[in-house]
């Protein structure tokens, strides 16, 4: 089963009811093999759907997928117990979410890297940004810092030494082209490209908008020493759940690695396992 949830503040009750109806695995009465996993549609939902169709049944796992279109609701549902696990976020985001929302979620295993990229309708390279241009970035804490670091990696801006992924526009120390950095909801950035000179867009929202990170991005993150691999996450205490361990093994299997390589052709990169 694969269901979709469109998250909105006014729809919190409907979201809760919808997820409860789907039911988490521990309450399913299916012998403990049912596992309800939350995900954003692309690429997480597609990777999970591949596992569901091709690998889960043979491994004795009743995998059920609930899709979300934002970054907050999958963690809220996981903390509240409507989900058994989720797949869509990197560890810096998960740690920041725990800190700000007082949750206790844990990463189980890294699965893939969805490289963040800079996109523009009329540019071939970030060096072509005109003086006074407006660049959109995600407005959540960790992805905003990640976006600023990507821009700084090419000298588009300069940042305070040591700020890392926590960087904010206030940490910009040099801005030779006097760019305006505009923070927007991550899902809104692809739709705003007509109104921006460029935008730093999360991989899943780029793919949803039919943008190819490998072909369309004018600047793309390097996978080398990249801390933003997406992880399978659970509520603290469930890391050793046999169903979760089984899914973790499937998500890091050679079959899933091959699926990611074949389907995304470099726009999403499987995590290398030893």
Residues 83 and 126 in one domain: no
- The reply to whether 90 and 121 lie within a common domain is no
Q: Which of 244, 195, 272, 248 is nearest to 83 (CA)?
A: 244
Q: What is the pLDDT of residue 24?
A: 65
pLDDT of res. 1: 61
Rounded to an integer, what is the distance from CA 131 to the centroid of its chain? 31
- Full-model pTM: 0.78
- In the chain, how many domains are there? 2
Q: Are residues 100 and 10 in the same domain?
A: yes
What are 98's two structure tokens?
Answer: 């725990």
Residues 35 and 123 reside in one and the same domain: no
d(CA 150, CA 145): 9
Q: How confident is the model at residue 185, as a pLDDT?
A: 96
At residue 222, the pLDDT reads 86
Residue 110 shares a structural domain with residue 239: yes
The series of mean pLDDT values per 10 residues for the chain, 274 residues long, is 47 36 46 85 97 97 97 98 97 96 98 96 96 97 94 96 92 97 96 97 95 96 89 98 98 97 94 70
Q: Print the domain residue range for 59.
A: 2-115+227-270
Picking from 106, 96, 99, 187, the residue whose alpha carbon sits closest to that of residue 145 is: 96
Do 172 and 154 share a domain, yes or no? yes
Q: Are residues 234 and 216 in the same domain?
A: no
**Neighbouring residues of 60: CB distance < 8 A, sequence distance ≥ 6:** 33, 246
Q: What CATH number is attached to the domain comprising 242?
A: 3.40.190.10
pLDDT tens digits, one per residue of 1-30: 666 554 433 333 333 333 333 446 544 444
């Amino acid at each position: 089963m694969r269901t979709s949830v469109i998250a909105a503040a006014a729809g919190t009750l409907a979201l809760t009811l919808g997820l409860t109806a789907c039911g988490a695995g521990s309450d399913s009465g299916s012998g403990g093999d049912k596992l309800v996993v939350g995900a954003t549609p692309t690429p997480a939902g597609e990777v999970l759907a591949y596992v569901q169709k091709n690998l889960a049944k043979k491994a004795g796992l009743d995998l059920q997928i609930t899709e979300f279109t934002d970054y907050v609701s999958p963690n809220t549902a996981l903390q509240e117990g409507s989900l058994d696990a989720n797949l869509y976020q990197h560890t810096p985001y998960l740690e920041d979410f725990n800190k700000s929302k007082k949750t206790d979620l844990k990463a189980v295993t890294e699965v893939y890297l969805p490289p963040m990229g800079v996109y523009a309708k009329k540019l071939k390279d970030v060096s072509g940004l005109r003086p006074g241009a407006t660049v959109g970035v995600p407005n959540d804490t960790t992805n905003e810092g990640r976006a600023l670091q990507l821009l700084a990696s090419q000298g588009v801006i300069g940042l305070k030494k040591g700020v890392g992924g926590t960087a904010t526009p206030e940490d910009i120390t040099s801005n030779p082209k006097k760019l305006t950095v505009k923070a927007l909801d991550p899902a809104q950035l692809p739709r705003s490209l007509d109104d921006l000179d460029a935008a730093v867009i999360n991989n899943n929202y780029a793919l949803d908008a039919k943008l190819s990170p490998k072909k369309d991005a004018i600047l793309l993150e390097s996978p080398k020493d990249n801390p933003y691999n997406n992880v399978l996450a659970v509520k603290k205490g469930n890391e050793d759940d046999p169903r979760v361990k089984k899914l973790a093994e499937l998500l890091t299997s050679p079959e899933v690695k091959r699926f990611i390589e074949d389907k995304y052709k470099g726009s999403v990169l499987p995590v290398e396992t030893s």
